[in-house]
Structure 1
């Protein structure tokens, strides 16, 4: 017997048919005498609609949120009607969901009157999607013969009051999870818990930001001492690259936590680094699986590193970025220029994605999100105004026509020839390199190229480097026996 935490994303609960599939997966796992904790997202598209309703209300539109409320009632009522044949339970669940949609309309009306949607109110609004999905999923499990109950994460995950990107108060959270969830699992009842949200010590609802539902699953899975955490999506696992760019992309059977963190940071649609940390600390494996192909093993994420013949396992790209360059002949040997430059960047709350500096110290270039480029350039110019006056610095400018291509794999720093193979693939594709970063990380090499060259770069690296090095002998260990057929 094992304890498994299963997180189902928006597409996995996006329709009545998908929720029925979730119920089948959970039932099969429970029938094999495993304890299961379910963490759910909102139905696909719902969080975006909730956000749109609040923002249009703040902009003075009183009709859009009303139309969205009507759509949400129809969407969830349709799921309830198809999944629950019992009149009594169907009515009870529909009333519960309707009351949450009523709350959405009330919140939006207040936003409309005030013409303001604060972060605190937006957390309340956007948390409603998970809260609507939770009772439907739990009821579908009960209809499928699985004993199940619901517990909102607002009673389990305790956070600070940094609304929309709340920080978790781990000691308080662990105490609550062990007190409220572990006894339920021990009784072989499947708790369905909302992802994405928590609450302050005073009970004010918060949300956990990017990757919030996966993060919730990691926290909950860690503190109930899961044997594994399974992240269910609509793909077979983590891919060697974006299959929309390279149709020959393959599922990676095994990745280390470090490799996943690099892939997520550099644009791949995998788990956010923050998400896996509670599990990394406890050495709990994560498995990424496909709700609609549950018999496939998926990708196992673990602390162990498996080095492939080419070392490079995946290639990713970050788009919508800008390269900022600070240049001047007078920069040479002047202490503090870099520190003051990045202090100016920090004032704009801009995330620096990579840094490259010439060995002559006559220029520094770094990558920031494109939306921040204009404000960052202005901030750097203001900070270094004295150096401009002395002509130590001649120019600071932004180049928005760039993207980052990153190759990822364990052991890159210690393996000779990796960069040569990557740059050989770029030469084959006639792609010019604008900047390079290969620093302290043992897992990645990042290259800045023109936006028009990104797809060719990714395709060539994937074909000539990644696929050439895939070992036919590396397989993920099978999931916990008999958990999914």
Structure 2
């Protein structure tokens, strides 16, 4: 029967995955509002799978409690959720399970604190309580709205992962397991409510897939069940052309390709999991990023590239630029690898790298304060004449522009012309020619970003 369900093109065309982020799940009224939205989808003929994050601030509060060994933060989390349970009525089986899980959170945390069980498995187990409680709150809200629902997580939802705690990924056969787990419920008219962000290993240990992993859970499920679309419900009506706090005139981007969205997520344009859109590349599945407060504006993401050709501007601050130089590096094999290994060995993540064709210098961008970890090693290279010298420029930032229009030499030329009076320290072209990153002092980077953002708005408003 489950195979027949996917073989029925009419039903496949009705499948939609709806993910509610923590930003829209803060109180019992939020869960009720989300349940009404799901009921509306059913009334319009869709067959939804619901993916939920933990309630607002829950994941961060549990992480803080873990790092600080703070029992009071766990008590705050427990109290907030107990308030939601009371608001929803407190009688249903889902609410009783939510309360049981909250007691389990407290017991697990106390055991962790008593025994100092500081490892990735325990951390993932603690953090998972947020989503595991949230699915029962959502399932209860749906039941009260007249919608049959079942709360699922980990293997019960087919989400089986490896045991890379904190950054787990689905195993090879996971997609088939997801189909088996979910389609039977859908066929009988029951809405699966799946915990985002968390999975379960083959041995039954709870895992997490990294911050923002609920978005990835939603898109992964959509690919597995061949959904028509994914809806990512947030507290803003789509993805903006820039940070509204920096660009007050920022607008919602009407369309993005998956390649552009992937580049934007990697560059920090919106806090998506880096792999959010990978499952949907080269599929016909559409993703809509929208808000319950604004049913008009949204960002539609699909495989095809569509206008406008320039999409967004991103500014990343708190960076440093390390420049290593010397003619002794010319023609010496492995120089760049040796220098990068120094950074890697010191636990320093390189955000960007550039080397001149002459091989006389290498530029590396790192987070502010991290260069001090490699100072001694760089001094040793200089004293041994492996390099001539090095310098560190503190308080730099990146200004990035994203869009398929950067492949057009004329558009690229007009954007580079905006830099003619700007002191840019480094320029990097991104993968698939979808982004240009400039590195400059913070003040200059913001000025460059404003120029880039004006160019983006000009294309959107055409």
With normalisation by structure 1, the TM-score equals 0.87
Instruction: Determine the C-alpha separation between the residues in 2 that align with 1:153 and 1:253.
Output: 34
Give the direction of change, closer, same or farther, for the CA distance of 1:160–1:281 in structure 2 (3 Å limit): farther
- The aligned residue for residue 210 of structure 2 is 209
Matches within 5 A, 1:361-440: 361-370=359-368, 372-378=370-376, 385=381, 388-424=382-418, 426=419, 431-438=422-429, 440=431
For 1:237, what is the secondary structure of its paired residue? coil
Task: Pick closer, same or farther for the CA change 1:226–1:371 going to 2, 3 Å.
Answer: farther
1:390 to 1:72, Cα distance in 2 relative to 1, 3 A: closer
Instruction: Specify whether residues 286 and 456 from structure 1 end up closer, same or farther in structure 2 by C-alpha distance, changes over 3 A only.
Output: same
Query: Corresponding residue for 2:198?
Result: 197
Query: Where does residue 338 of structure 2 map in the other structure?
Result: 340
Q: Structure 2 CA distance, aligned partners of 1:469 and 1:2?
A: 34
1:380 to partner: Cα distance: 5.5
**Does the CA contact (< 8 Å) of 2:262 and 2:276 recur in 1?**
no
Match status 1:11 vs 2:23: yes
Q: Which stretch of the first structure deviates more once superposed, 187-196 or 343-352?
A: 343-352
**Structure 2: runs of 5 or more not aligned:** 1-12
Q: Name the structure, 1 or 2, with higher relative contact order (CA <8 Å, separation 6+).
A: 1
Please say which of residues 185-194 and 271-280 is displaced more in the overlay. 271-280
- Alpha-carbon spacing, 1:88–1:451, altered in 2? closer, same or farther (3 Å): same
Mapped pair 1:51 → 2:63: yes
Aligned 8 A contact 1:154 1:205 in 2: no
CA RMSD of aligned residues (A): 2.1
Aligned partner (choices 449, 452, 457) of residue 458 of structure 1: 449
Residue in 1 aligned with 2:10? none
CA distance in 2, matches of 1:53, 1:390: 47
Give the Cα–Cα distance (whole angstroms) in 2 for the partners of residues 49 and 211 of structure 1: 15
Give the secondary structure class of the aligned counterpart of 1:296.
Answer: strand
Q: Which moved more, 1:342-351 or 1:112-121?
A: 342-351
How far the C-alpha of 1:291 sits from its partner, in A, is 2.5
1:345, 1:379 within 8 Å by CA — same for their partners in 2?
A: no
1:2 — aligned with what?
14
Determine the C-alpha separation between the residues in 1 that align with 2:377 and 2:203: 38
Q: Is the 8 A contact 1:2 1:34 kept in 2?
A: yes
Given candidates 73, 77, 84, the residue that maps to 1:79 is: 84
- Could you tell me which residue of structure 2 aligns to residue 30 of structure 1? 42
1:299-331 Cα offsets, whole Å, 9 max, x none, are 1111111243xx422111122322222111222
Cα 1:2/1:93, change in 2 over 3 Å: closer
Q: How far 1:370 sits from its partner (Å)?
A: 3.1
Segment drifting more, 330-339 vs 18-27: 330-339
Partner of 1:165: 167
Q: Kindly tell me: are residues 273 and 20 of structure 1, through their superposed partners in 2, closer, same or farther at Cα, counting changes over 3 Å? A: same
Q: CA deviation at 1:457?
A: 2.7
Tell me if structure 1 keeps the 8 A contact 2:31–2:141.
yes
Is residue 300 of structure 2 the alignment partner of residue 306 of structure 1? no
1:121 paired residue number: 122
**Partner SS for 2:231:** strand
Structure 1 residues without counterparts, runs of 5 or longer:
58-63, 473-485
Structure 2 Cα separation of the partners of residues 131 and 257 of structure 1:
30
Structure 1's 73 and 111: CA in aligned 2 closer, same or farther, altered over 3 A? closer
- Residue in structure 2 matching 1:88, options 91, 112, 115: 91
Q: Report the Cα offset of residue 78 of structure 1.
A: 2.0
Query: 2: distance between equivalents of 1:73 and 1:272?
Result: 27
CA distance in 2, matches of 1:338, 1:216: 37
1:368 shift after superposition = 2.5
Change (3 A) 1:229 1:378: farther
Q: 1:348·1:372 contact (CA, 8 Å) conserved in 2?
A: no
Hey, what's the Cα distance between the residues in 2 that align with 1:13 and 1:120?
Answer: 26
CA distance in 2, matches of 1:376, 1:167: 32
Matched residue of 1:286: which SS? strand
1:378 to partner: Cα distance: 4.7
SS in 2 for 1:88: coil
Q: Distance in 2 between matches of 1:15 and 1:432?
A: 49
The CA deviation at 1:159 is: 1.2
Q: Which runs of 4+ in 1 moved over 6 A?
A: none
1:412 CA drift (Å): 1.1
Check whether the contact 1:237–1:288 (CA below 8 A) recurs between aligned residues.
Answer: yes
Distance (Å, rounded) in 2 between the aligned partners of 1:161 and 1:439: 32
Between the aligned partners of 1:72 and 1:439, the Cα distance in structure 2 is 41
